[in-house]
């Protein structure tokens, strides 16, 4: 599965097209539209990091805050060699819509550093993480902007960042970061929250569509945190049979189903799902076009386009990745009767449990994993039916319905605050 070289350029224009479509349908006020089409503020930073060999290397980083009308900004920090400001802008706007769809009192932000963390030692990674916080600290705070992990960032990186911010403030401020280790105020249930939220949505979609998922087939594109947990939970909670999975190094297929435990053991040993014994190697294109009940795009954005949408055979597409389907493909899939659970809803379990972590940090009392999962399930179901109701009311596909829910809520908050 090779990255699409056009992906970074496509994501921001995609996010704007999706807003444009929703704004036209609800006849959004022109001033509100202009406020929502661009980020409220951006910070570009230059980071000087001492390397293990004694040299100093310069890294570029960003923090984008899209809109805070409904509450403090919230969003992850990505460490990626191909990071761009346009990708960060798109993801920040999607966080605004995601928190709004979930009806949690937060806005949207995103951050990133252009780097390849796989080439950095633990010491270099720590110094880079702390340098990023030193340069962005004035932007951050529990009442301003609360970062979290994202691509190639981890609970350990969040711990270093929370510690650096606390040192700068002169007292512990662990609540400024979510996705932390449990020992520093992290939340139980955070590790599988993104996948679990998506699974709850699939269950509701199947009930709505009258589909029996037990022993039905599923395919998962992407086998990182979200994709691998989706494999585990799809089997445990829905009774699905996962017949194909992929990662950046290859795709595997077995018509009788793949064992989560065995595939994970193989990936941990070899670094990839590729070469899994008894499985057949297939292309990424073939995986996306398999005849399955549920397809999980859980890796790159813009992988389902007008070029391949007609070949998609899945009954339900559960978008655990951000922006995996282009606006042009949405129309094709909707006309073909494919039920999409859009990213704004499907992968919002992560930010929802991050919000739960903020709540627990604020009053110093922590919930059990069962309590977190119970609250997450309630939030996901409520959001699912809000989107479903808008889709029926406006006779539109689910992504457009999710945008309508989100944009109306943010626009209402801005109007009440006197912004327009």
Q: Are strands 280-282 and 145-149 parallel, antiparallel or unpaired?
A: unpaired
Question: Active-site residue 381, yes or no?
Answer: no
Place of tokens 């945190």: 225
Instruction: Give CA–CA dist 262/356, Å, rounded.
Output: 32
20 Cβ partners below 8 Å, 6+ apart? 37
Instruction: Give CA–CA dist 39/100, Å, rounded.
Output: 16
- Sheet of 145-149: strand order equals 41-50, 56-67, 107-114, 73-80, 145-149
State both tokens at 286.
């073939």
Residue of 110, 241, 379, 390 marked catalytic:
110
Return the active site residues: 110
């Amino acid at each position: 599965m090779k990255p699409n070289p056009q992906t970074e350029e496509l994501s921001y224009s995609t996010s704007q097209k999706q807003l444009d479509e929703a704004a036209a349908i609800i006849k959004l006020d022109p001033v509100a539209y202009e406020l929502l089409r661009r980020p409220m503020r951006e910070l570009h930073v230059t980071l000087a990091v001492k390397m293990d060999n004694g040299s100093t290397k310069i890294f570029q980083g960003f923090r984008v805050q899209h809109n805070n009308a409904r509450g403090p900004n919230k969003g992850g920090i990505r460490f990626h060699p191909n990071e761009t400001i346009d990708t960060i802008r798109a993801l920040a706007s999607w966080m605004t819509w995601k928190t709004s769809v979930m009806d949690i009192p937060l806005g949207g932000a995103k951050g990133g550093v252009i780097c390849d963390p796989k080439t950095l030692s633990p010491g270099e990674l720590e110094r880079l993480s702390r340098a990023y916080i030193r340069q962005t600290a004035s932007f951050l705070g529990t009442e301003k902007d609360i970062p979290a992990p994202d691509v190639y960032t981890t609970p350990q990186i969040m711990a270093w960042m929370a510690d650096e911010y606390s040192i700068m403030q002169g007292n512990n401020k662990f609540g400024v970061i979510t996705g932390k280790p449990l020992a520093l105020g992290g939340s139980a249930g955070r590790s599988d929250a993104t996948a679990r939220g998506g699974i709850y949505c699939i269950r509701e979609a199947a009930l709505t569509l009258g589909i029996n998922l037990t022993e039905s087939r599923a395919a998962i594109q992407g086998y990182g945190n979200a994709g691998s947990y989706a494999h585990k939970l799809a089997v445990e909670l829905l009774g699905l049979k996962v017949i194909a999975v992929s990662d950046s190094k290859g795709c595997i297929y077995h018509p009788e189903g793949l064992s989560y435990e065995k595939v994970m053991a193989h990936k941990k040993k070899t670094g990839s799902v590729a070469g899994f014994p008894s499985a057949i190697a297939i292309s990424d294109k073939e995986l996306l076009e398999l005849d399955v009940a549920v397809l999980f795009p859980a890796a790159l954005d813009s992988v389902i386009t007008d070029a391949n949408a007609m070949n998609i055979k899945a009954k339900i597409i559960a978008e655990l990745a951000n922006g995996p389907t282009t606006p042009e493909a949405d129309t094709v899939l909707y006309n073909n009767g494919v039920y999409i659970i859009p990213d704004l809803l499907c992968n919002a379990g992560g930010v929802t449990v991050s919000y739960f972590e903020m709540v627990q940090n604020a009053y110093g009392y922590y919930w059990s994993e069962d309590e977190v999962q119970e609250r997450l399930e309630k939030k996901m179901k409520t959001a699912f039916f809000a989107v479903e109701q808008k889709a029926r009311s406006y006779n539109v596909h689910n992504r457009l319905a999710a945008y309508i829910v989100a944009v109306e809520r943010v626009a209402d908050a801005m109007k009440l605050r006197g912004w327009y």
